[in-house]
Amino acid sequence: MTETLQDLLVHYTERVRPRVDRALEAALPRGDGCPRRLREAMHYGLLAPGKRLRPMLVLMAAEACEGSSAQAMPAACAVEMVHAYSLIHDDLPAMDDDDLRRGRPTCHKVFGEAMAILAGDALLTLAFQTLAAMDAPAAVVASCCAALAEAAGAEQLVGGQADDVDGPRPGADLAVLEAIHRRKTGSLFGVSLRLGALVAKAKPSQHAALARYSRAVGLAFQIVDDLLDVEGAGEVLGKRVGKDVDHGKLTFPGVLGIDASRARARRLVDEARAALADFGPGTAPLEALAGFVLERNR
Ligand code: GRG
């Protein structure tokens, strides 16, 4: 990544991330009807120190399509709520059984399993409540709800997780691995860009370019995730490393080897940037984020 793009991403993140966190905080339930411990567990999972990549993708996509980030903020929050729910549930003893997430004890370690399940359930529901309350034409709201439901549902996020839980089938290869990750990781990357574009009333050619970008960046993100599990530092990542090997998971370094995995991630990031080529101005943050995906250490 050139120095300029790196600086741009740092400045973008410094400017936007506090706004995202304030909007997430404001979206949490305040009424007496929400039990205090449930609200605390939701707050803990949602406002934990993650990277906020998905909300930033929503806002960057909206801006790239000449929309405003303020308009897209509810959609940005909705995707992060689904992401936070998926992490809380993924960490449960019945799934990955993790003690550490985002540098802190996992939600169920702090609040107990039952409350962590409920916090995840409530965040998933709150995502759709947040989208439904968005200040946008009814057709845009309906399209956003449908897109997020599809991405989070049985054929995408939950389906990918189910295949992962079942473990690799005999003879599973690179195509199977990519199919799992396109759903498990790629689904939320894809819908982040789609929601930003929907809110900004993007042209079909812009939707198509952003879909190409998201497919490439989502897969590159996952390859790097697998590499970090082998080579990364647990204290920087804020989670346990070496899990994939311990759990006998099918991974990119396991199938391709480390060097070929890195080369594949590099090619995918080039493809992602190429997808933005005919897009017009305003795509620099998306270009910078693609570079970050490749070079990240957390
Ligand atoms: C429980 C339905 C359900 C789905 C779980 C999120 C997930 C699916 C599994 C987590 C395991 C994993 C490593 C998934 C792939 C990559 C991924 C989603 C990493 C976490 O995303 P980051 O790095 O997290 O953007 P932060 O904490 O920075 O937001």
Q: How confident is the model at residue 262 (pLDDT cuts 50, 70, 90)?
A: very high
Q: Which atom of ligand 1 is nearest to the CA of 229?
A: 13
- Among 27-36, 57-66, 228-237, name the one with the lowest average pLDDT: 228-237
Q: What is the pLDDT of residue 163?
A: 87
Please check the confidence at residue 1 and state whether its pLDDT lies above 70. Answer: no
* CA nearest ligand 1 atom 27, residue: 50
- The whole-chain average pLDDT of the chain stands at 93
Burial state string for 221-259 with b = 16 or more CB within 10 A and e = fewer than 16: bbbbbbbbbbebeeeebbbebeebeeeebbbbbbbbeee
> Residues in the chain, how many?
298
Q: What is the pLDDT of residue 69?
A: 93
Q: Does ligand 1 have an atom closer than 6 angstroms to the CB of 86?
A: yes
Q: Distance, CA 83 to ligand 1 centroid (Å)?
A: 7
Q: Residue 2's CB: how many other CB atoms inside 10 A?
A: 10
Q: Does ligand 1 have an atom closer than 6 angstroms to the CB of 116?
A: no
The CATH number corresponding to 5-295 among 1.10.10.350, 3.40.50.150, 1.10.3720.10, 1.10.600.10 equals 1.10.600.10
Q: Does ligand 1 have an atom closer than 6 angstroms to the CB of 13?
A: no
Q: Does ligand 1 have an atom closer than 6 angstroms to the CB of 16?
A: no
Q: How far apart are CA 224 and CA 266, in angstroms?
A: 10
- Among 97-106, 112-121, 177-186, 258-267, name the one with the lowest average pLDDT: 177-186
Q: What is the pLDDT of residue 3?
A: 59
Q: Cβ(182)–Cβ(223) under 8 Å? A: no
Q: What is the pLDDT of residue 58?
A: 98
Mean pLDDT computed over 235-246: 77
Please check the confidence at residue 2 and state whether its pLDDT lies above 70. Answer: no
Q: Distance, CA 19 to ligand 1 centroid (Å)?
A: 22
Q: How far apart are CA 206 and CA 45, in angstroms?
A: 33
Closest-CA residue to 279 (of 71, 6, 13, 66)? 66
Helices (H), the chain: 3-27, 36-46, 53-64, 69-90, 107-111, 113-132, 138-152, 157-166, 174-184, 186-199, 204-231, 234-237, 243-246, 252-256, 258-275, 284-295
Q: What is the pLDDT of residue 53?
A: 95
Q: Residue 201's CB: how many other CB atoms inside 10 A?
A: 16
Q: Distance, CA 162 to ligand 1 centroid (Å)?
A: 14
Mean pLDDT computed over 259-288: 93
- Calculate the alpha carbon distances from 168 to 156, 162, 163, 165, 248 in Å: 17, 11, 8, 9, 9
Angle at 228 between CA 252 and CA 226, to 5 degrees: 20
Q: Which atom of ligand 1 is nearest to the CA of 221?
A: 16
Locate the domains of the chain by residue range.
5-295
Mean pLDDT computed over 219-227: 93
Q: Does ligand 1 have an atom closer than 6 angstroms to the CB of 211?
A: no
Please check the confidence at residue 181 and state whether its pLDDT lies above 90. Answer: no
pTM of the model: 0.94
Q: Does ligand 1 have an atom closer than 6 angstroms to the CB of 185?
A: yes
Q: Distance, CA 272 to ligand 1 centroid (Å)?
A: 21
The fraction of the chain above a pLDDT of 70, given in percent, is: 99
Q: Does ligand 1 have an atom closer than 6 angstroms to the CB of 267?
A: no
Q: Does ligand 1 have an atom closer than 6 angstroms to the CB of 192?
A: no
